[in-house]
Every structure is written in structure tokens, then in C-alpha cells.
Chain A
């Protein structure tokens, strides 16, 4: 298997699946820029040829989607990605499963493990859950989001989206805005975009800023308009009300007023700035509908499309390594 690594901006020439150093995909932190670029390049190949049978890496393999949190796009995206690579997919959602009978995470995992799946895709509300599973199962584990920790495939699909529209990541000014404290998407993106040389700025109310986050090599701005000033990408995050204690901000009305994105505020960003959001959106809370649905500026639907491609690249890389 050969791996071609293109520098940012170059047209990717990929001969095959990406080789990863780890058996599992648990987080972006610690991945090398070479690995990340290779995954992005390979994702772009899949994005250009979604139905062309570029790879049948998952033929004869079983993938289990084990989701402890509700999800539409991530679960469907993984399912579709696996099917396009020829894999068989099983979806297990916790509602209506033995988990509701009190089974622990590890018991569920070892039960599923006994059925010999090749890849376990796991989403869980606790940070570290995917890592814990990876220590107790034979299958390769892909983290589809663990608590507030990481959501590596989301960061990859965001990077693929940015590459597709801006041609590069290095040197771009990218604002990540909103509920940083409760966001795994923010953490994965901080690691990924920083590793690839983007200038990352966090823009949010100070009460939604986790401790010492500036140690991760990002700039922090608490004034929204100053924060997105001159940025090439404005990435909005969902206000994670289900993870909030309710005391972080005074009200949704005030939040939208001070930290929500609308077309007037977007004028402060760079002239060709593009807007992203990992979804699902709270319209009128962190972003107004006009901006979210602006076909010129919003990449939100492209992100979903790239999600399938990015997950194909990840699944293929994991499956190829597991052989």
C-alpha cells in the first residue's frame, strides 16, 4: 500500500488507504500532521467519487455502531460510509437495548465483542469511554464522540470541508465560536487545525471557556465581533444545553445578542469568509437562519456531505490496518 502525502493546496494523488500508526481512532490529539493530511487527502478522493466503488476495504467486515447518545447525522454518516465500502453495519442505540436493563458499558462491549465485529464505532456521554472500550475489546474502536473530550471524525470532516473550499488549512484564520467548555468538536478541531498550521481563535463568553485552554496554542477572545474579525472561517458551535448546568449564561436571548452569528456580524470576518456548524443547530440561539441557509456563505450542508467521505477514509484506514 502506498501513501502519497500532498502538501496543503496540492491536488491529492492517493494510491490507496491511509496507514495509521494506531489500531484505533480515539482522538486527534497526538496524531501526526502526516497522518491527518493523508486522511484528508483520501477523504477528498472519496468526496469526488462517492458512488464509484473506489474502495471495497470493508467487504466481508462487520461494523457495529454503538451509540449511547442520540444522533442522526453521525450515525447515518458512519452507516453510509461503511456500506459504500462494502461493509455490513449493525446499529445499536441504547434506548431499547440491554443498557436500559442496567448493563454496564464494558459488559455491553464484551458481549458485542464476542460476536466478533471488526470495528466498533462508539459514541458515549463520558469522556474516555472510547479509550476504555479499546482496552477491553478485540475490535478496532472509532470514537464517534466521547463526552466533552474528542470527536475526531467531525474535526476531519471539517478539515476536508475547509480544504475543499479554501484549498488549504495552513495559515488560515479560523474562529471557533460558542460553547467551547462543553464541546468535543472544539477540542478535536483545536488539535487538528493547530497541528496543520491554522491560526485558531476561540470566541466565547468567558464562562464557557475551560481552564487553561490557551495552553493548547489558541488565542482567546471574548468579544464576538473582535474575535471573528478578519477570519477566513467562522465555525459556530451548538450551545450544549443538555450538558450545561444552566448558570453559564444569563439567557438565550442575551447569548444570541452577544455571541450569536448573523449577517451583520459576519461582515466583520474576512471578505470571503465561510460559515460552518457541526449541527444540529439551535436557530436563533447561536446562529440566525438567514446566515445558516446562505448558500454563498454557509458550508453546513457540505460538512454533512464531507462527513461520509471523511468516515470512509477513517474506516478504510482502520480496516486496512486491522488486516
Chain B
């Protein structure tokens, strides 16, 4: 049996509370041994890779990615999306159902997953649409999609706003033991909204989206979760009130989880002051106080996971005045480096960050990955956390090159990404 031993690595595996110099041995696509210190002689027999004290940890699991394929392949196809993920250290990702056709039936899920597996590389999973055609007025064929491999159900970029539909969804998904992922934004309160409501929106003359639009939906949903005991996940949490609501729900013992994305812990609404449409996101960039609350939520575990919120957007759709410009930005290329800022700035220990990027999302969606425990698939990355670079959209592997972090200095370079023991990316 061929085996490869990665030694002299800084091993971080939150699932086993490992954090120190050590080794990982891979055989037949799985982790066959892991430990601190120098590996036993037998482990070194076949093939040894000196990691030179680079960090080795479980591969990133990105639980919020918009695939432009199928339906908008001119923006990005699966090969560039998966290549960007591989280079970004992402070994598994979950795609939103907002494609054309919409992922609201089993065959669509099947087709996307098949296409991705033919390409290989990063493992691709799909959410099913929570409601038919994402219209929000009737449940989609959730059971059939679950059988086809859907890992959770969501209306993607829109909110399930009808309380009765939401109640039924939560009940039905609890029966199937699948999570419901909600984009929390009250559609009436945020109607026509262009940015976060506050002094900046007033100065710029842009229509405000009050931060309450997030917590109103979370609060309503939490009442329904109490009744249904369904697994409920808040996507891209962005406000202090939202973080507080999730914290209380967790303290109460409700089966609630949450994620956020780098813009919400690194940027605030003031970035919009020059009407730069790269900063137009959904949910919108919030106040500085909200940003601080998101960091606090990540630090104390209220926010379980960090996702890229990757969203391919047509350049033409951004070359507009701020109001009509389309929200969204690219995220796969920058997820790890931007998230590492939290470590470099002292907000999170490295092990907690890795947990938020791998173990937590993998557990929420019951995916492969997130751990280096013996016998689990060898999905891991090797990276240098201190190496610095400057973000330039033009250099992205992803075909989607609009980023709110243009010219932003970051630290953290991925040198290799392995899925099932095979290298899907290696920096030369």
C-alpha cells in the first residue's frame, strides 16, 4: 500500500484539538495516521514530504457559493469555479439553487453534481430550492431532491417570507433531517433598498435598508424553530441584533447555526462613499458596530462558519450607478487570506478560524471534510499563514473578478490542496 507522509508541518485539526508541529500520513485517499512530533520510521517508508513548518489543516468547506453554471456560463463555468476553489484551499463547496434552470427538482441537482464530478477537484454539493421556482409560495420537491443528494434547502438570495410556507418547510425538513438555510431580509422593509440605512445612506441619497430587516426574519423563524425543532441556519449574518438573536437561541438550546462572509467582518458601509458598486452586496455592508458584533459572534462561536458568498456578477451589471447595479462579488480566491486577517489582528486563534472554515460548515451540512481524523478522506491543505500579497481581481483564477477587496493587503498563501489524497492544486 503506497503511503505518503507529510511531516514537519504545523498541524491544526480542531476536530481532534491538535495544534502543533507533527505529521499526517495518507494511504488510499484516507488519513492513515496523524500525530505530533516526528513520525515513526515506518510512516516514512514510502514517500515523505517535508512541509517546512507550513500549516496543514482540513480543507476549507465553503457553504455559500453561487455557481453561474448552468444558465450564466458567460460569467463563469464550473471548471474555473472549481479551479478557483482548489487554489483557494477549498476542498468542498455547496452551491445555491439560484441557477437557470433553478435547482428545484432532483434531476437538476443530479445534473450539476454529475457535471462537477466529471471535472473533478473540489467536491461540489448542491442545495435544493426550498420553494418551487424560488417563488416562495409552495414547497419544492424536497424529499426527492434530498434523495438526489441535496444537502439543505434554501431560497438562496431571497427570503422565504411567507410564515406558513416557512413553518411547513421547517417541519418537512425536520422529518428529513436536513437544514433550512435562510437569507434573512424582510422584503417589505428592505424594498427598493440600495445600502444600509444610516448617516451614510442619507448623505449619499441612497435608499436605506434598515438593519432590523435581518433580525425580524430571524426572530420569526426562531419562533417556528421552537415549534418544529428543525435545523435552521442563518446565512451571511451581518447585524448586531441578528448576532444577539442567534446567541440567545443557542443558549436556549435551539438547533440553530449561522455563517457570515469576509465583507461583513472586514468592511463597513462607509466603503460605499464613492458609490463604488463593487461594495454593493446583499445583505448590504453594515455599520461599524455591526461589523464588531460579527467579529464577536465569530469569536464566541455564535457564528459557526465563514463562507465566501461567492457570486459571479456581470461587469456590465456593475458598470452602473449604485442603485441599479447588481449586488454580489467574487469570493473563492480570497476566502482563506481574508479570513486569516481575523487571526493576524488577534480576534480569533488560528484553531478557531480553521474550525469556522472547515469543521463547522462540514458538520452543519453533514459533508465529507473538516477533519484529519484517521480513516476520514484526506481532504486537506498546506498553506503559509504569514506570506503576504495584494488582492487584484484581474489575477483571480475565478472568471468572476469583481471584488470589494481590490488592492487590499492580506496574508496567507495556499501551497497545496488535496482531495481524497490527490493534489488538486499545487503551487510551483
Cross-chain contact B206 with A213 (CB below 8 angstroms): no
Residues of A within 8 A of B319 (CB): 104, 106
Residues of A within 8 A of B201 (CB): 210-211
Find B202's partner among A106, A150, A216 (CB 8 Å cutoff).
A216
Cross-chain contact B199 with A212 (CB below 8 angstroms): yes
Binding site for B on A (CB under 8 A): 29, 104-106, 124, 126-129, 131-132, 146-150, 184, 187, 210-213, 215-216, 245
Cross-chain contact A211 with B205 (CB below 8 angstroms): no
Identify 24 residue pairs between A and B in the complex whose beta-carbon atoms are under 8 Å apart, listed by A's number: A105-B321, A126-B323, A126-B324, A127-B275, A127-B322, A127-B323, A128-B205, A128-B275, A129-B321, A146-B205, A146-B321, A147-B205, A148-B207, A149-B204, A184-B205, A210-B201, A210-B202, A211-B197, A211-B202, A211-B208, A212-B198, A215-B199, A216-B199, A245-B192
Cross-chain contact B208 with A210 (CB below 8 angstroms): yes
Q: How many Å lie between the Cα of A128 and that of B191 in the bound state?
A: 20
Residues of B within 8 A of A148 (CB): 205-207
Q: Which DSSP category, helix, strand, loop or mixed, fits chain B's interface?
A: loop
Binding site for A on B (CB under 8 A): 191-192, 194, 197-199, 201-208, 210, 274-275, 316, 319-324
Residue of B nearest to A128 (CB): B275
Closest Cβ of chain B to A141, distance in Å, is 14
Additional A-B contacts beyond A126-B320, A126-B323, A211-B199 (17; CB < 8 A) = A104-B316, A104-B319, A127-B204, A127-B322, A128-B206, A128-B321, A132-B275, A148-B206, A149-B205, A149-B206, A184-B205, A210-B202, A211-B197, A212-B198, A212-B202, A215-B199, A216-B199
Q: How many Å lie between the Cα of A124 and that of B324 in the bound state?
A: 12
Closest Cβ of chain A to B306, distance in Å, is 29
Closest Cβ of chain B to A129, distance in Å, is 5
7 A-B pairs with least C-beta separation: A149-B205, A128-B275, A126-B321, A148-B205, A127-B205, A212-B199, A210-B202
**Most B C-beta atoms less than 10 A away, residue of A124, A150, A211:** A211
How many pairs of A and B residues are in contact by the CB < 8 Å rule? 73
**Most A C-beta atoms less than 10 A away, residue of B201, B274, B323, B324:** B323
Q: How many Å lie between the Cα of A32 and that of B138 in the bound state?
A: 57
Residue of B nearest to A129 (CB): B321
Residues of A within 8 A of B194 (CB): 127
Q: How many Å lie between the Cα of A127 and that of B316 in the bound state?
A: 18
Cross-chain contact B202 with A124 (CB below 8 angstroms): no
Residues of A within 8 A of B197 (CB): 211
Q: How many Å lie between the Cα of A216 and that of B204 in the bound state?
A: 12
Residues of B within 8 A of A129 (CB): 321
Cross-chain contact A132 with B198 (CB below 8 angstroms): no
Q: How many Å lie between the Cα of A211 and that of B194 in the bound state?
A: 14
Find B198's partner among A29, A126, A211, A245 (CB 8 Å cutoff).
A211
Q: How many Å lie between the Cα of A150 and that of B204 in the bound state?
A: 8
Q: How many Å lie between the Cα of A291 and that of B273 in the bound state?
A: 39
Cross-chain contact A187 with B191 (CB below 8 angstroms): no
Closest Cβ of chain A to B168, distance in Å, is 30
Find A105's partner among B192, B275, B320 (CB 8 Å cutoff).
B320
Closest Cβ of chain A to B323, distance in Å, is 5
Closest Cβ of chain A to B313, distance in Å, is 15
Residues of B within 8 A of A147 (CB): 205-206, 321, 323
Closest Cβ of chain B to A134, distance in Å, is 11
Residue of B nearest to A149 (CB): B205
Residues of A within 8 A of B198 (CB): 211-212
Residue of B nearest to A146 (CB): B205
Cross-chain contact B322 with A128 (CB below 8 angstroms): yes
Find A104's partner among B202, B320, B323 (CB 8 Å cutoff).
B320
Residue of B nearest to A188 (CB): B205
Cross-chain contact B203 with A29 (CB below 8 angstroms): yes
Q: How many Å lie between the Cα of A132 and that of B324 in the bound state?
A: 13
Residues of A within 8 A of B199 (CB): 211-212, 215-216
Q: How many Å lie between the Cα of A184 and that of B194 in the bound state?
A: 16
**Most A C-beta atoms less than 10 A away, residue of B198, B202, B210:** B202
Q: How many Å lie between the Cα of A148 and that of B206 in the bound state?
A: 7
Q: How many Å lie between the Cα of A147 and that of B275 in the bound state?
A: 13
Residue of B nearest to A183 (CB): B205
Residues of A within 8 A of B274 (CB): 131
Q: How many Å lie between the Cα of A131 and that of B323 in the bound state?
A: 13
Residues of B within 8 A of A128 (CB): 204-206, 275, 321-323
Q: How many Å lie between the Cα of A200 and that of B410 in the bound state?
A: 45
**Most A C-beta atoms less than 10 A away, residue of B191, B207, B274:** B207
Cross-chain contact B205 with A150 (CB below 8 angstroms): yes
Q: How many Å lie between the Cα of A215 and that of B287 in the bound state?
A: 15
Residue of A nearest to B194 (CB): A127
Q: How many Å lie between the Cα of A106 and that of B277 in the bound state?
A: 14
Q: How many Å lie between the Cα of A159 and that of B206 in the bound state?
A: 25
Residue of B nearest to A186 (CB): B205
Closest Cβ of chain A to B210, distance in Å, is 8
